[in-house]
């Protein structure tokens, strides 16, 4: 049977690091086994709908290079790929469960549920569950007579369907990452399967949809582990046990204190979403890795290694290599703390590795939006090659490459002033004169002129290089100074030295 996995996000906001990693592991697993990667939108909670969130998720996946094989926008044979559009199919499974005695109707109102919790609350049990003990005292089809239930149903009394958990049973299964896991059903509550509005809860929907969509392996965050016994039972009660997918519960990605949140991102200055997310309700902007200056390859590479490793020393992987080496068994079971420094390291690695041609366009645009005109593509390529090792984020190119295309607006005069004197000033005056008449404008020629003149004037060439650099680039950074002079050209070099001399 061919592998089919799914990522099932609810379109309620930005796409979190942890979400992308879940997608990634699904994707890698599917591709490794030559299977299909499916995206299913879980929008059963209509109160949490957020405009634009669905499109945003697909945009992020595209940026990451994790294209689904089947989804709302990619199509597929086993749709619809959105739960709200499958609404009709859930009710009948709920009814079926009731008919077979595995579930029941519950007519309790919100107030009654609150009362129940309040009445049963003790210091030892601060949050009482609707479980096998409590259900005997509530308004549900287990306690009402058949005709009472029938009447209530006919009057369209709001009700839900709840699973009837066995009183004493042990449920166990093998998690692909964690091995054997077992639960005592007497400690699990009677989860709502079908809500009063007719929508399924996650518990019912995930089972029905995974079955209908022929999902073979179900991967999700560790936060779902406590819900597993409900799902396992549902697969069994619905008679689909043989088709049940294999499970793996992925470890959490943690922040400095607990689960990583967008709050952490804001606080520590790093992104937690894949791409910028503007919440239409609050108008709050949460920064994304993309806009921060990350390469998708680096972002994916970093995420892949956060909780998984190939068992070798390799750390930099292309998507193809990840697909080749990935296995769920090598995913670490413990949660991993996100390390922004390491994330930046991955980006730096990828900036060195990636083809200049495929970064050129984006870097060019970045410079343009920072008011640095780029009108020489060949020069841009040369510059990128020259300065990339000094860039950690794409945005670093603004400083590191900008001065090749635009005269610095200010120069770091303090950096040269401490050791500045008239002899040096005279050196530069004469140097520019000699440059003007230089025939062959190449870095070696320029350097020769520079060194000869320095020797002639009896000044250490080294002491003149820093001033020269600051004059050309504006600060103490950048590649070899004569290389810079060569690339910006004679006219510009002479001009920049002249400008600098005026303020020194």
Partner RNA sequence: GCCGUGUUGGUCAAGGGGUUAAGACGCCUCCCUUUCACGGAGGAAUCACGGGUUCGAAUCCCGUACAUGGUACCA
Positions 394 through 433 that interact with RNA (CB under 7 A): none
Q: How far is the CA of 502 from the CAs of 220, 223, 411, 471, 496, in angstroms?
A: 64, 65, 11, 11, 10
Closer Cβ to RNA, 87 or 490, answer by number? 87
Alpha-carbon distance of 338 to 187, in angstroms, equals 33
Give yes or no for residue 110 binding RNA (CB under 7 A).
Answer: yes
**Does 120 participate in binding RNA (rule CB under 7 A)?**
no
CB of 37 to RNA, least distance (A): 18
Structure tokens belonging to residue 68: 């689904």
Among 65, 75, 179, 498, binds RNA (CB under 7 A): 179
Q: For the chain, how long is the longest CA-to-CA vector? A: 112
Q: Does 80 bind RNA (CB under 7 A)?
A: no
Least Cα distance to 256 among 347, 344, 341 occurs for: 341
Q: Is 333 near RNA (CB under 7 A)?
A: yes
Residues of this chain, 16-75, that bind RNA according to CB under 7 A: 42, 44-45, 48
- d(CA 88, CA 84) in angstroms, rounded, equals 9
> What is the contact mask toward RNA in residues 130 to 159, using x (rule: CB under 7 A)?
x---------------------------xx
* Beta-strand relationship, 253-255 and 179-184: unpaired
Beta carbon nearer to RNA, 419 or 433: 419
Among 142, 461, 487, 504, binds RNA (CB under 7 A): 461
According to DSSP, residue 252 is labeled P
Q: What's the rounded Cα separation, in Å, for the pair 433 and 438? A: 9
Nearest CA to 88 out of 212, 236, 262 is that of 212
CB of 190 vs RNA, minimal distance in Å = 9
**337 touches RNA (CB under 7 A):** yes
Instruction: Note whether 265 binds RNA by CB under 7 A.
Output: no
Specify the stretch interacting with RNA by CB under 7 A; choose among 336-344, 356-364, 402-410, 438-446: 336-344
Out of 51, 169, 223, 376, the only residue in the binding site for RNA (CB under 7 A) is 223
Give the burial class of 277: count Cβ atoms within 10 A of its Cβ; 0-12 exposed, 13-18 middle, 19 or more buried: buried
Determine, following the binding rule CB under 7 A, whether residue 113 of this chain makes contact with RNA: yes
Element (H, E) at 299: helix 296-305
According to the binding rule CB under 7 A, does residue 13 interact with RNA? no
State yes or no: residue 269 binds RNA (CB under 7 A): no
| 199 lines the binding site for RNA (CB under 7 A) | yes
User: Which of 31, 86, 424, 469: binder of RNA (CB under 7 A)?
Assistant: 469
148 versus 368: smaller Cβ distance to RNA: 148
Taking the least distance from each CB to RNA, the nearer of 389 and 456 is: 389
Q: Which of 82, 102, 195, 290 binds RNA (CB under 7 A)?
A: 195
- Active site amino acids: 262
Contact 252, 221 (CB under 8 A): yes
Gap between the Cα atoms of 207 and 215, Å rounded: 10
Q: Does residue 10 interact with RNA by CB under 7 A?
A: yes
CA distance 340 to 310: 21
């Amino acid at each position: 049977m061919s592998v089919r996995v799914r990522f099932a996000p609810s379109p309620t906001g930005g796409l979190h690091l942890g979400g992308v990693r879940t997608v990634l592991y699904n994707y890698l697993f599917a591709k490794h086994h030559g299977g299909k990667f499916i995206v299913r939108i879980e929008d059963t909670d209509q109160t949490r709908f957020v405009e634009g969130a669905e499109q945003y998720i697909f945009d992020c996946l595209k940026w990451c290079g994790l294209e689904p094989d089947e989804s709302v926008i990619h199509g597929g044979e086993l749709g619809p790929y959105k739960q709200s559009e499958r609404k009709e199919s859930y009710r009948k499974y709920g009814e079926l469960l009731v008919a077979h005695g595995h579930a029941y109707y519950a007519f309790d109102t919100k107030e009654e549920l609150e009362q129940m919790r309040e009445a049963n609350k003790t210091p030892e049990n601060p949050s009482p569950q609707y479980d096998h003990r409590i259900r005997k005292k509530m308004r549900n089809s287990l306690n009402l007579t058949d005709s009472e239930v029938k009447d209530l149903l006919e009057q369209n009394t709001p009700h839900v369907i709840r699973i009837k958990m066995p009183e004493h049973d042990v449920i166990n299964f093998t998690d692909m990452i964690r091995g054997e896991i077992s639960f005592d059903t007497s400690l699990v509550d009677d989860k709502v399967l079908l809500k009063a509005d007719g929508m399924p809860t996650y518990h019912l929907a995930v089972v029905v949809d995974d079955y209908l969509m022929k999902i073979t392996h179900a991967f999700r965050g560790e936060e779902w582990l406590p819900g597993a016994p409900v799902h396992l039972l549902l697969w069994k009660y619905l008679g689909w046990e043989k088709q049940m997918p294999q499970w793996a519960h992925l470890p959490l990605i943690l922040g400095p204190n607990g689960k990583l949140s967008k709050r952490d991102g804001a606080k520590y200055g790093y992104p937690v979403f894949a791409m910028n997310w503007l919440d239409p309700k609050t108008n709050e902007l949460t920064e994304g890795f993309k806009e921060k200056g990350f390469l998708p390859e680096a972002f994916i590479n970093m995420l892949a290694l956060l909780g998984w490793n190939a068992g070798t020393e390799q750390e930099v992987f292309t998507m193809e290599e990840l697909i080749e080496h990935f296995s769920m068994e090598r995913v670490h079971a413990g949660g991993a703390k996100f390390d922004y420094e390491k994330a930046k390291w991955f980006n730096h690695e990828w900036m060195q590795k990636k083809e200049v041609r495929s970064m050129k366009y984006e870097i060019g645009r970045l410079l343009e939006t920072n008011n640095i005109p780029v009108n020489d593509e060949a020069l841009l390529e040369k510059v990128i090659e020259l300065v990339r090792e000094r860039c950690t984020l794409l945005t670093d190119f603004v400083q590191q490459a900008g001065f090749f295309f635009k005269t610095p607006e200010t120069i770091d005069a303090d950096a040269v002033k401490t050791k500045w004197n008239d002899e040096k000033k005279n050196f530069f005056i004469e140097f520019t004169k000699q440059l003007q008449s230089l025939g062959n404008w190449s870095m070696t020629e320029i350097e020769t002129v520079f060194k000869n003149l320095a020797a002639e004037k009896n000044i250490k060439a080294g002491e003149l290089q820093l001033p020269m650099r600051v004059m050309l680039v504006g600060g103490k950074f950048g590649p070899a100074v004569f290389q810079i002079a060569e690339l910006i050209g004679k006219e510009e070099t002479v001009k920049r030295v002249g400008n600098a001399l005026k303020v020194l």
